[in-house]
A and B are shown apart, each in its own frame.
Chain A
Amino acid sequence: MSERPPSAPGPVVERFDGAVLRSGEPFTILYGPGVRDVFVDTAYQVCTLEQVLWRLLRVHGYERIVFGSTDRPVYFRDDGSRELSRGRALGHKKAPAAGPRTMRTPGMSGPMGNLLVTPGSSPAEERGPAGPPPPASGVSDPHAVMTLTGYLQRAEPRTAVVIPHAENYLRYNQAPRALAGAMANWARHHGNGNLWVLVFERGTLDDVARYVESCHAYPLLETFVRAQAEQRGRSGTARIDFPQAAETERLIHAVRLRSGLRLGDWRELDTIVKAMATNPRTARAWKAMLEELARASDTALTVAAIRGEGADVPPADLRSPWERLAAMPGLDAVREHFEQLRAEVETVGALQAEGRATAAEPPSLHLVFSGNPGTGKTTVARLVGELFRDLGLLSRGHVVEAKISDMVAGYVGQTPGLANATVDRALNGVLFIDEAYTLNDQRDGFGKAAIETLLARMENDRRRLVVILAGYPDEMTELLESNVGLRSRTSVLRFPDYPPDTLHAIALGRLTERGATPSPEAGARLREIVFGMHRTRDKSFGNARDMRILADSVFQQWSGRVRAQVNEPVTPEDIPDGYRNHLPQPPPDPAELLAELDRYVGLGPVRTALTELTNRLRLRQARGQGGFAPPHLLFAGPPGTGKTTVARLIGKMFRTMGLLHRGHVVEAGRATLVGQYQGQTAPRVRKAFEDAMDGVLFIDEAYSLISDARHGGYGQEAIDTLVQEMENRRGRLVVIVAGYPGEMDAFLATNPGLPSRFTTHVPFDHYSPEDLVEILDRMAAEENRTLGEGVQERAMAWLEATRRARPAEFGNARTVRGLLELMEARMGERYVRQGAGSAPPSEYLPEDVPAPGAG
């Protein structure tokens, strides 16, 4: 713990920085949770803010310190100030001697001398020389205001006017008009060395501003406080916070020496002090708690007692924060950053000790934690408070974890106040804002207001505030790019995803930590699962967090099986089904795999391609190797040749082969991928990739993406993004582009990256007439109809004639479906001709097939 050298002779209190008294502003506003607190100064005296303030003012050269409150409109805490204010011309009246009552005004005399002949009271004149000064009774507000402002206006003696309960004073003053006028006058003419201090109980300056506004009586003060609340400098205002470590330690000693508090174990003192200082609570509350402990004869101050009070004590971890940081896996870069900082602090300390360092601005300590979920950002953030406190860079080192709702308000104008209030809570500690990038996309610019407020405080309070912004790498990059101020004030620490080995170790560690022992086999299975999870991870992958979830669900299943037999090891059967798809599947039998295709006519080239892939896979698995990245496919062929159908099948098959984790198919086209305005296209493409992760992105009619290339459309952007995403997500999904062969060549030519990525071309040829008739047969069969004798020949003749007549429109399978519909119509006609009562026909007859060229 470092202790700042006292800026003034005499005992000091760290959390009240006397610098505020030198602001040069007309008013000095004190506020915050500490203003009603007690303070333990460096002389171990417990005193109130009024006493601390009085002492500071005296040290700052104020000869006369006068207070004003609702109950006592003008009062003094010391005889000197009172003497300076009363009886300057005639001296102070001495205490009356016994005897007839005499007049109290020196120099006043009538025919009976100074004998008092009226019943006037002589209040509270009698007091001992050491006793507290008598209150000035019955001071009227108009005169109190007149008097206080009179004091302020005189340059001599140098005077500070303190309003210790400003809320009440402003609300209940009987002379608000005079007070408002006095404030305005003072604001215009201050600068004679006098000071006007107002102490508010509000927690934040924004609350103070709101309160003053609610009085509707003091426009100038309103303006001043509002301006200070929104201004970057905030000079002339000081937030009195909860006690810091040094003061907390003095409090413990003060109670120990005065009330006999015992310490359970002196070695715990440091931990206790830190825990107490980190817990936002007033010294008054801690004092009461400590005195309670002191009163109970059989209790002592221990870590447990403090924890019982709800303080955040690191669980039985007596390691230093540095040791704990060092023990965290995979955070070398983070560790290096803090070690570097530590070295720098040491160097600066040494330089200062030798008097060689000038008082340079301290470096900015604010940080950006960029990383995926579960990479240890929060854990490190909590450590950072302790680290900085350890380095003497923060006096309390507590961590306030703020959500967006703590920073951004729902109504216009409230955001700065809310954000400031949150920052105020974190002063002398760490403000940790997780998912900070969401500040960027808050509606109506509220997020921007929050960022601006935050930036101002990061700059102004840099000596006693560390802000940590955390979030996904991309989004954080975007946030920093859009806010130069943030970027220039923060150091970015990257929290990489844990490598699969580390993740595996984390999962096993968690299991072991909970008391379960995985068998080697179970360990191996878990490793496969973890590797699978890692391989198939997306943005939502929780890294260490997901490992904990995995371990916990295994533990749950294991405990369900073994019950009290805790010596039973964890075996592969304890792995929940939900995780088993990450286990390698037995290589599929090609025949079985391709059986799906048997339902379809033709598709010879498709079968060939799939069979090749299956064979590769079998080979690798047989050699104990993992899978390979599934290839992107290009389907070239005319419409109706089964491309879409096959794409769907491919997803399933690849999943069966273990090449894709999910195997679903996301269909996309120009309408879904290409935007109408600048900037819309790339996100659409990325969104499509996002949706298709671990499955298939099927882009039919892919060449239509670039159909507008000559007109300055955004198709090219779509293609470029496509290439980029294919690279980024290599192995995680399969892109299938489909279209007419000639147009697909043009498509591949639009980006040089395309041909090399679509290496597997699957041609979908026109069906042969025989294939078409076969399709007709299957289609009819699907409807429980049969083709009668001579139907096939007649159908073949019709199809041939149709292709010849309209080759461009000939849609192969779709034309066959049209033919079947024509046949059904004719069958229906035949059925009606036969008359009611006859059985409906199920067999197509040759007469049902239209003549070639007809229909």
Chain B
Amino acid sequence: MSGRKRIQVDESEWYRIQRQARDLRKVQREVPNLIDAVRRQTRADLDRTFTRVERRQQQHDELIGRLSDQTRELEQDTARRLQQQATELRGELAAGAGQLREETRQRLAEQQERTRQAIAAERAERRAETSRVSARIDAIDKDRAQAGQLVRSWLSDARAMTAAIAEAALHERYAPGELDRLTDRLATAEQNAAQGRFDAALALAQETYHSLSELRTETEQRELERCTAQMAAIDALVTVEEEIEGNLIQPVLGPDGEPVDGYTVDVGFWSQGELDRLREETADGLARARDDRTGTGELNLLREQEAPRLEGALGNTVGRACLRHLASQTRVSLADAVVQALGRTAFYEFVDGEYQDADPRGTYYAKLVHENGNQIVLDISQAEPDSGRHVVRVLSYDHDITAEAQLQERAAAIGESLKDEGYPVSGAASEPGAPDRKLLDIQSHRDNPAHAVEGGA
């Protein structure tokens, strides 16, 4: 039966250019005030993170005040360096918010490493010095009381350091079991001291203290590292979040790639839920990034992989939404063209047109009537989802004749006329079956809209 004619119309030039433009651009990053927005969003995170760092440093400073003379100097140097590092880091992170580039991150890492090495070198020197002092103590072994005093001083410092480490509670994360081991050794040193073996006790106490101090420095640095990674991840994901919001409304690009005045694309509507899912995923990632329990490795993954993935997905979603929007317009334009062609070549008149269930994302139906009562419904849909090719179905409802040959003639003539009109018609074929008479009721689409119309999504 020739009442159903299927004509495939190839991708239009506009669509092709649009598609290529979307591919190249990935995502619209030139969101206005993106950096400010990201900075606003991440400031609290930065404050929260570094407030904790600073609080620990204060506590440490208090500790240093309680330390003996022989360790105070060492700790003061280390604390100063750590404080300096944290301050620099915070400043860098605050300054680079929303635009944390890889080189910044690299520079920060190198800086951290240098600080680490500087601290390590200083400590090695202190430890050597301590050893020399111990040797001197050996020399003055005859003064047992003085030796007992020295041992107790070291043990006290070590106890204080142990308490501080425990209070900071970073050790179990970065060096699990290390504090217990050192506490055991400290207990041994205390036993030695109690048993009056001051020489052995002193060496062990000194060694343990140094290990505790290193443990504290190490965990503090690792924590700083994590904070950096956390901020970077937060920064990246907030950027994505801001990009999502910034890309919600897209301009319509003309065939020349320039925005067409007066028209925008509601990406949320045209993405058909993709953008919402993207939002959720980004929020998930951000929650994990903000969660202090999240490890550096995972934070790095969030920054290195998840955020770019989300960005890419956002680009695709936006591109698809825009193309869907254009495709929807293309369907009507095609309908217009076919209507015009049928008007000119066959004297049909357009009487009504509507999208499936009044949703512009769906098939477009146009109804034409001939003066002799014959009717045609055009059914225009994409050949495949998110494809530039369209299928125009010409559904004829002829009353004047029923002769198959003549209906074929008319159908063939419609195909020819579309080709003559300049449409890249790549295939035309008859489809079996009689057209559904329900399709003649265009109004029903408006009466029973399936979705809220555009903009309400």
Contacts and interface: CB of A to CB of B under 8 A. Distances in A.
Nearest to A153: B372
A112 B252 contact: yes
A107 B354 CA distance: 10
Contacts of A120: 333, 336-337, 340, 421-423
A108 B350 contact: yes
A115 B263 contact: yes
A803 interface: no
B372 A147 contact: yes
Nearest to A123: B344
Contact of B409 (A109, A115, A142): A142
B451 to A, nearest CB: 13
A177 interface: yes
B349 A86 contact: yes
A116 B336 contact: yes
Nearest to A115: B329
A116 B423 CA distance: 13
Interface stretch (B24-32, B239-247, B363-371): B363-371
A150 interface: yes
A204 B326 CA distance: 62
B5 to A, nearest CB: 13
A119 interface: yes
Contacts of B334: 118
Contact of B336 (A74, A108, A140, A149): A108
Given A138-B421, A140-B413, A112 B406 contact: no
Contacts of B332: 103, 108-110
A654 to B, nearest CB: 89
Contacts of B325: 111-112
Contacts of A117: 12, 14-15, 326, 329-330, 333
Interface in A30-67: none
A90 B413 CA distance: 25
Contact of B423 (A88, A100, A118, A142): A118
B319 to A, nearest CB: 16
Given A85-B347, A119-B14, A143-B410, 19 more contacts: A90-B350, A105-B339, A108-B350, A110-B328, A110-B364, A111-B263, A112-B260, A117-B333, A120-B421, A120-B423, A121-B421, A122-B340, A138-B345, A140-B345, A140-B414, A140-B417, A151-B371, A153-B372, A154-B371
Q: Do most interface residues of chain A lie in helix, strand or loop, or is the interface mixed?
A: loop
Interface in B1-56: 12-15
B400 interface: yes
Interface of A: 74, 85-90, 100, 103-123, 136-143, 146-147, 149-151, 153-154, 174-175, 177-178, 181
A146 B336 CA distance: 22
A174 to B, nearest CB: 8
Given A107-B353, A110-B364, A119-B422, A139 B344 contact: yes
A178 B339 contact: no
B263 A146 contact: no
A175 B337 contact: no
Contacts of B420: 138
B46 to A, nearest CB: 42
A111 B329 contact: yes
B237 interface: no
Nearest to A112: B329
Nearest to A87: B349
Contact of B370 (A108, A114, A137, A146): A146
Contacts of B330: 117-118
Contacts of B122: none
Interface in B223-239: none
A177 B260 contact: no
Contacts of A140: 345-346, 410, 413-414, 416-417
B417 A90 contact: no
7 contacts: A87-B349, A117-B12, A119-B12, A120-B337, A136-B344, A142-B409, A143-B413
Interface in B399-438: 400-401, 403, 405-406, 409-410, 413-414, 416-417, 420-423
Contacts of B393: none
B371 A147 contact: yes
Contacts of A105: 335-336, 339-340, 350, 353
A138 B339 contact: no
A147 B370 contact: yes
Nearest to B344: A136
Interface of B: 12-15, 252, 254, 260, 262-263, 265, 325-326, 328-337, 339-341, 343-347, 349-353, 360, 364, 366, 369-374, 400-401, 403, 405-406, 409-410, 413-414, 416-417, 420-423, 454
A46 B328 CA distance: 55
Contact of A138 (B341, B371, B400, B405): B341
Residue from B262, B333, B369, B409 having most chain A Cβ neighbours under 10 A: B333
Contact of B329 (A110, A147, A175): A110
B333 A110 contact: yes
Contact of A121 (B339, B360, B422): B422
A173 to B, nearest CB: 11
A113 to B, nearest CB: 7
A181 B406 contact: yes
Nearest to A100: B260
B410 A142 contact: yes
Contacts of A150: 347, 370-374, 400
B417 A138 contact: yes
B30 to A, nearest CB: 23
A81 to B, nearest CB: 13
Contacts of A114: 336
A82 to B, nearest CB: 11
Contacts of A85: 347, 371
A101 to B, nearest CB: 9
Contacts of A119: 12-14, 422-423
Contacts of A100: 254, 260
A649 B310 CA distance: 144
A108 B349 contact: no
Contacts of A116: 333, 336
Contacts of A143: 345-347, 410, 413
Q: Give the 10 A-B residue pairs with the shortest CB-CB distance, closest first.
A: A150-B372, A140-B413, A143-B346, A110-B332, A120-B337, A103-B336, A118-B333, A147-B347, A110-B329, A142-B409
A74 B372 CA distance: 15
A177 B353 CA distance: 33
A110 B360 contact: yes
A74 B349 contact: no
Contacts of B454: 111
Contacts of A112: 252, 260, 263, 325-326, 329
A113 B370 CA distance: 26
Contacts of B421: 120-121, 138
B417 A146 contact: no
A100 B255 CA distance: 11
Nearest to B408: A142
Contacts of A87: 349
A89 B336 contact: no
A845 to B, nearest CB: 113
B158 to A, nearest CB: 74
A137 B260 CA distance: 32
A138 B417 CA distance: 6
Contacts of B347: 74, 85-86, 139, 143, 146-147, 150
Contacts of B406: 142, 175, 177-178, 181
Contacts of B417: 138, 140
Contacts of A110: 328-329, 331-333, 360, 364
Contacts of B360: 110-111
Contact of B345 (A104, A108, A139): A139
B349 A89 contact: yes
Nearest to B343: A86
Given A109-B332, A117-B333, A146 B346 contact: yes
A237 to B, nearest CB: 28
Contacts of A121: 421-422
